[in-house]
Amino acid sequence: MKEKILKLLVKSEPLKTGDIAKILKVDSKEVTKALKALKKEEKIISPKRCFYTVEKVEEKLVVNKKEFISLYKEKGTFKTKVEAETNLNAFMDLIGELLTSGKEVNFTGWGKFKVAEREERKGRNPQTGKEITIAAKKLIKFKSGKKLDEKVNN
């Protein structure tokens, strides 16, 4: 039922529950139940009260790890998503190990990862207004390279 509703909403303007039930020729209670599940899964939105539509894909500005692995598998020469995920995890673990050991990681043209020190400093507690001491810590910095800058800006 949920797949049918999604296909219908992709092709149309926002629809009411009753309209969806009429088009699919099913009971409106069944449609309501499916709509609640789809809304909970964040696959549909309700821009106007009682109207439902599919969220536009181009509005999503963040790619999570799961989505990235799917794209990485397609772009690379991996046979499975598991293989792509294993490869990606190894890459991220190695970057973390190198940064932890105090080394910089430089990919010419793409960018450089490095660890910087932030000194102890004074600050204010926003709730009380009292002055507090913020402890020193290490930060990870990334400086993009020329090729990556050009790719993003063109």
Identify whether residues 7 and 51 lie together within a single domain: yes
pLDDT tens digits, 85-127:
999 999 999 999 999 999 999 999 999 999 999 999 999 999 9
Identify whether residues 35 and 67 lie together within a single domain: no
Identify whether residues 10 and 48 lie together within a single domain: yes
pTM for the whole thing?
0.56
| HSE of 104, CA atoms in CB hemisphere, 13 A | 11
Take residue 144 and report the two structure tokens written for it: 């993009």
* 84 CB-contact burial (10 Å; exposed 0-12 / middle 13-18 / buried 19+): buried
pLDDT tens digits, 52-80:
777 654 445 688 899 899 999 999 889 99
Identify whether residues 89 and 123 lie together within a single domain: no
Of the three residues 21, 39, 58, the one that is the final residue of a domain is 58
Identify whether residues 66 and 48 lie together within a single domain: no
Identify whether residues 71 and 114 lie together within a single domain: no
Give the residue numbers spanning the domain of 75: 62-103
Identify whether residues 99 and 120 lie together within a single domain: no
Identify whether residues 48 and 96 lie together within a single domain: no
b/e string for 99-112 if b means 16 or more Cβ within 10 A?
A: beeeeeeeeeeebe
Based on the structure, what is the number of domains in the chain? 3
Take residue 148 and report the two structure tokens written for it: 């990556």
∠ CA 133-135-136, nearest 5°, is: 135
Cα–Cα dist 86/81, whole Å:
8
pLDDT at site 43: 80
CATH code for the domain of 127? 4.10.520.10
* 53 CB-contact burial (10 Å; exposed 0-12 / middle 13-18 / buried 19+): middle
pLDDT above 60 (res 3): yes
Long-range contacts, 95-104 (Cβ 8 Å, 24+): 99/140
Helix (H) or strand (E) holding 116: strand 111-118
Identify whether residues 17 and 54 lie together within a single domain: yes
Identify whether residues 95 and 111 lie together within a single domain: no
Identify whether residues 108 and 144 lie together within a single domain: yes
Identify whether residues 89 and 126 lie together within a single domain: no
- Of residues 41 and 148, the one with the higher pLDDT is 148
